Structure 1
Amino acid sequence: MGFFSKVKKLWVSPEDRAAKALKEYLGDKEQPIQEIAPKDSAQQEAPIQRETVELTKAVAQKPAATQDSKPEPKVEATSTPETTPVPEPVSAPVSETVATPKPAPDPQPEIETSAKLKDGKARIIEPIMATEAKPDADKPQWQSDLTKALQQADPRLSVWLDLILDGIDTAGEDLWARLTFLLKALEAPAKEAEDFVARFKEWLSDMDYEHVEEFRSELQYRLALALELEDEEDERSRLFIKLSEGLSKTREQITKRLDSLLSSHSAFDDNFWEEFEEILIMADVGFEATSELVSRMKARIRNSGETNPENFKDLLRAELDEVFKVPKRIKAYNPPEVVMMIGVNGVGKTTTIAKIAHREQMQGRKVLIVAGDTFRAAAIGQLEIWAKRVGAGFFAKAEGSDPAAVAYEAIDYAVKNGYDLMLLDTAGRLHTKTNLMEELLKIRRVLGKKHDEAPHRCVLVIDATTGQNAMSQTKLFNEAIGVDELILTKLDGTAKGGIMIAVTMQHKIPITFIGLGEKMEDLRPFNGADFAKALLM
């Protein structure tokens, strides 16, 4: 046997040694040796390390077998003078790491989910409450009955109010409790509900009202404003009835003649248009506005192809609705909003200011009334009484003071005290008095210098009973100062309601409110479609 053959026989590779040790450890059970072809010199020791780790794991898993195992037999090499012993490769010792066992976690109670619930068992979780809820048994019987009645009732303010007032004849604690209950049921904040009731109590005391029939209408009006339900169908129907009653005299003047015209003509001929013009002029529509309205009606009929006069009223209603349409305005401003109220003596300017303040207060705005009429005797005292009655703030100086100075200081006061709206009264003056008109211009200039864009609105109050005289007032005030809005008062007592058509068509100034009586609720927003419908019923 050659030298290299003897060396090969005596030398045992590390893989063979590991396999032999594993075979002796396991006994007669043969373990196949996985041959792994080395990829490079850096990876040649990797299989040895893996085999050694596997052996270490096997020993750790069978501690009893380790005690009975025999010592590994030593391999004695045959001494041969020609051979040089080959040093056995020393592999790095494998350190066995004993893992420290982690303490077992505390057992958690098993949550019974809806999937795990059996035998019809119900899963209930009680909420955590800051305050313990009161059972219904603790509520007064009237609250339980009223709650049920309100839930079953039609969602209309008049119906709700009927339920609240059921069984109540006079103002008292029962009424206040029921009002508070209704406001809370409609999700009004508690503070606002308390304020509403307190203001209404004070108003009843000032007016010396006690019985329900005396204040029911005013209460519904206040609730509609506070709850923003004025546009509700039920409330609009109530307003339409009031508007129809207010226009009754004007309607008799127009409708009676118009019906006679339509019954006596079968076509839209020249005679028809001449008689129609006469009807409008007699209703105080005015010559210029009448000519324009007739031209517009001719164009509408021509475009629609209508030939039957029986349908003339419907076309006229549609045209009047177009006449009264108001363009949208930007209402953004830095508070307070400053509104300058102007008009001649006797048109109802002072009471109109009080009614506007009342509306705005009910809608949650903080209102300041400023007595800018320092010339008329008792004007300051009269306005102060109204301010107290409606719960608005009041600012005034001594009689005979400069109105511009009053307006200047009032803005400082309004800004300092956080007012949302400032209503500035001015002295009633004849529109033909040049020096008085110049005084209004001075006030307007001072307001503009003191507060950005003030006055934000200049509102002219005119009396509907004055007919064509209201037209000349509007013309002169608008030319001298500039008018943004119109308020027509005393519409309920005149047959000259046609002035509304005339002033709107001729001056293109929108009508924002109309006065239909002396009560606070009788100042109502103007709606052109409702006006046309009420006028041509």
Structure 2
Amino acid sequence: MGFFPAVKRFFGGASAASAEVVSGVEDVPAVAVVREEDAVALTLRLREAEPRLSIWLGIILEGVDTAGDLLNARLLFLLRALQAPEEEAQTFVRDFADWLACMEYRNIEEFSSELQYRLALALDMEDEEDERSRLFVKISEGLARTRETLACRLDVLFAGHGGIDDAFWENLEEIFIMADMGYETALALVERLKERARRAGMTEAGQARDLLCAEVEKIFSMPRRISAVNPPEVVLIVGVNGVGKTTTIGKLAHRARMQGKKVMMAAADTFRAAAMEQLQVWAGRTGALFYAKHAGSEPASVAFEAMEEALRQEVDVLFVDTAGRLQTNVNLMEELTKICQVLGKKHPGAPHRCILVIDATTGQNALSQTKLFKEAVGVDELVLTKLDGTAKGGIAVAVAMQHSLHITFVGLGEKLDDLRPFNGADYARALLGGQEGQGF
């Protein structure tokens, strides 16, 4: 099901001949062939290199300046060297070439980051050290505005107080409120920190940063849950207007496609102007199947028929887009409940995941959104978008504390690779101005 789930990453036991010397891509258009002498040299260099995706990719891309047949041939060479299944390797290269043409990208600077991201997903190497480091930098950059209002004030507080006293805790609570955590969250967090400090016998303000970082990590730590589903997995995407639901579906579908899954998108947002067209563009861009009816159709009907089609075509994941709605609109919230009911009637257990998309720039309003959507459709997880443009990144702490929901992804920009898995440890360090953690 995945593109390369059983890839032998480190060339262990592989001979130089295991990477075919002639590396043309038979089914990919406009492809050059890696010459025999180049293939031997590349194989030796790859085997001798540190086993990291970024290093392998750097070797493969030497002398490649633009998209085209040489790039395709080199990529196929790398995938063959990693013993990826031939058909899947060719599919990966072909899909990437199609995407470059769709986006009209030509120079390697325009797409190298996306290429590494796709390979990391396809090769199941997203957790390797280099990728974690790259992602930590990305989320740190995304939280820069929040950190200006939080970490800097924390620095002043920690440095300006010799001991931990009532004034210290009051100032800390005020800083949390100003970071858009809200009064209730700020008060509860301070009480937790007081208890931690008491148990640890801590008396110096300068020691409080590590204490705070550990507590925020704990807040984001959620119990494990059963992820097994009866396929296809049905994912319902909900949220208010303008938070980026359709774009999030596109990015989630992209991740699933890069993991080799057969994906379908269903356009159950039948009222917003151009909503179906926007989703169809994302389907084309990511290589997903697409299901829609005419504008004004009943959303529950679209969801039901899309479920039938997904079962017929044996897709792995069905993403159901819904109309943006104010959390206070009772009729529209009841419509979401109906969509859930018809999905479950056609496919027992569906929807398997209900994802609430929240715009980080809305700050405290995200708390009421989460509460009411959770009551209406039983939200399973959160995606937090637009973190790169807000000083309100502290809202993630408030939502996690008050509603005990997983934040699974965060949006850090407009590109396909800007939707990143959420990791509480790295988020805490990036938010509070600490050093790189073990996550992402």
Structure 2 unaligned blocks of 5 or more = 1-18, 23-33, 434-440
> Which residue number in structure 2 is paired with residue 352 of structure 1?
248
In 2, the alpha carbon distance for the partners of 1:161 and 1:308 equals: 48
> Which residue number in structure 1 is paired with residue 58 of structure 2?
162
Quick one: which of 393, 413, 419 aligns to 1:497? 393
Is the aligned partner of 1:259 residue 2:155? yes
Is the aligned partner of 1:334 residue 2:230? yes
> Which residue number in structure 2 is paired with residue 324 of structure 1?
220
Is the aligned partner of 1:291 residue 2:217? no
CA apart distance, 1:142: 1.1
Report the AA paired with residue 67 of structure 2.
A
Q: SS in structure 2 opposite 1:142? A: helix
The one-character-per-residue Cα deviations of 1:267-301 (angstroms, maximum 9, x if unpaired) are 11000000000000000001111111111111111
Work out whether residues 20 and 81 of structure 2, in 8 Å CA contact, stay in contact via their aligned partners in 1: no
Map 1:129-278 → 2, pairs under 5 A? 140-278=36-174
In 1, the alpha carbon distance for the partners of 2:297 and 2:51 equals: 52
In 2, the alpha carbon distance for the partners of 1:188 and 1:210 equals: 26
The one-character-per-residue Cα deviations of 1:391-444 (angstroms, maximum 9, x if unpaired) are 000011111111111111111111111101000000111111111111111111
In 2, the alpha carbon distance for the partners of 1:218 and 1:139 equals: 27
> Which residue number in structure 2 is paired with residue 305 of structure 1?
201
The one-character-per-residue Cα deviations of 1:164-215 (angstroms, maximum 9, x if unpaired) are 1111111111111110011111121111100000000010001000000000
In 2, the alpha carbon distance for the partners of 1:287 and 1:453 equals: 38
Map 1:441-520 → 2, pairs under 5 A? 441-520=337-416
> How many percent identity over aligned positions?
62
Distance 1:198 1:375, change over 3 A: same
Distance 1:386 1:134, change over 3 A: closer
The one-character-per-residue Cα deviations of 1:233-256 (angstroms, maximum 9, x if unpaired) are 110100000000000011111111
CA apart distance, 1:524: 0.4
> Which residue number in structure 2 is paired with residue 399 of structure 1?
295
Distance 1:426 1:170, change over 3 A: same
The one-character-per-residue Cα deviations of 1:25-65 (angstroms, maximum 9, x if unpaired) are xxxxxxxxxxxxxxxxxxxxxxxxxxxxxxxxxxxxxxxxx
In 1, the alpha carbon distance for the partners of 2:35 and 2:277 equals: 48
The one-character-per-residue Cα deviations of 1:67-94 (angstroms, maximum 9, x if unpaired) are xxxxxxxxxxxxxxxxxxxxxxxxxxxx
Work out whether residues 21 and 40 of structure 2, in 8 Å CA contact, stay in contact via their aligned partners in 1: no
Map 1:19-168 → 2, pairs under 5 A? 140-168=36-64
In 1, the alpha carbon distance for the partners of 2:224 and 2:65 equals: 45
Distance 1:386 1:265, change over 3 A: same
Work out whether residues 267 and 279 of structure 2, in 8 Å CA contact, stay in contact via their aligned partners in 1: yes
In 1, the alpha carbon distance for the partners of 2:399 and 2:110 equals: 36
Q: SS in structure 2 opposite 1:294? A: helix
Report the AA paired with residue 430 of structure 1.
L
Distance 1:134 1:142, change over 3 A: closer
Q: SS in structure 2 opposite 1:470? A: helix
Map 1:383-422 → 2, pairs under 5 A? 383-422=279-318
Report the AA paired with residue 84 of structure 2.
A
In 1, the alpha carbon distance for the partners of 2:21 and 2:362 equals: 63
In 2, the alpha carbon distance for the partners of 1:415 and 1:312 equals: 54
TM-score when normalising by structure 1: 0.74
Q: Which has the larger radius of gyration?
A: 1
Question: Higher mean Cα deviation, 475-484 or 525-534?
Answer: 475-484
Matched residue pairs, number?
A: 404
The one-character-per-residue Cα deviations of 1:438-493 (angstroms, maximum 9, x if unpaired) are 11111111111111111111110010001011111111111222111000000000
> Which residue number in structure 1 is paired with residue 175 of structure 2?
279
In 2, the alpha carbon distance for the partners of 1:267 and 1:291 equals: 20
In 2, the alpha carbon distance for the partners of 1:263 and 1:386 equals: 49
The one-character-per-residue Cα deviations of 1:363-414 (angstroms, maximum 9, x if unpaired) are 0111100000011111111111110010000011111111111111111111
Report the AA paired with residue 445 of structure 1.
Q
Structure 1 unaligned blocks of 5 or more = 1-132
Q: SS in structure 2 opposite 1:192? A: helix
The one-character-per-residue Cα deviations of 1:100-158 (angstroms, maximum 9, x if unpaired) are xxxxxxxxxxxxxxxxxxxxxxxxxxxxxxxxx9999x961111111111111111111
Q: SS in structure 2 opposite 1:306? A: coil
Q: Over aligned residue pairs, what C-alpha RMSD do you find?
A: 1.4
Distance 1:389 1:134, change over 3 A: closer
Work out whether residues 21 and 39 of structure 2, in 8 Å CA contact, stay in contact via their aligned partners in 1: no
In 2, the alpha carbon distance for the partners of 1:479 and 1:418 equals: 32
CA apart distance, 1:533: 1.1
Quick one: which of 315, 336, 344 aligns to 1:440? 336
Report the AA paired with residue 322 of structure 2.
T
> Which residue number in structure 2 is paired with residue 33 of structure 1?
none
Report the AA paired with residue 423 of structure 1.
F
In 2, the alpha carbon distance for the partners of 1:525 and 1:285 equals: 22
Distance 1:135 1:202, change over 3 A: closer
Quick one: which of 415, 426, 429 aligns to 2:325? 429
TM-score when normalising by structure 2: 0.90
Work out whether residues 231 and 317 of structure 2, in 8 Å CA contact, stay in contact via their aligned partners in 1: yes
In 1, the alpha carbon distance for the partners of 2:120 and 2:352 equals: 26
Report the AA paired with residue 405 of structure 1.
S
Distance 1:199 1:376, change over 3 A: same
In 2, the alpha carbon distance for the partners of 1:470 and 1:330 equals: 27
Q: SS in structure 1 opposite 2:153? A: helix
In 2, the alpha carbon distance for the partners of 1:187 and 1:297 equals: 51
> Which residue number in structure 2 is paired with residue 47 of structure 1?
none
Q: SS in structure 2 opposite 1:307? A: coil
In 2, the alpha carbon distance for the partners of 1:479 and 1:326 equals: 20
Q: SS in structure 1 opposite 2:256? A: helix
Is the aligned partner of 1:523 residue 2:409? no
In 2, the alpha carbon distance for the partners of 1:506 and 1:217 equals: 36
Work out whether residues 177 and 183 of structure 2, in 8 Å CA contact, stay in contact via their aligned partners in 1: yes
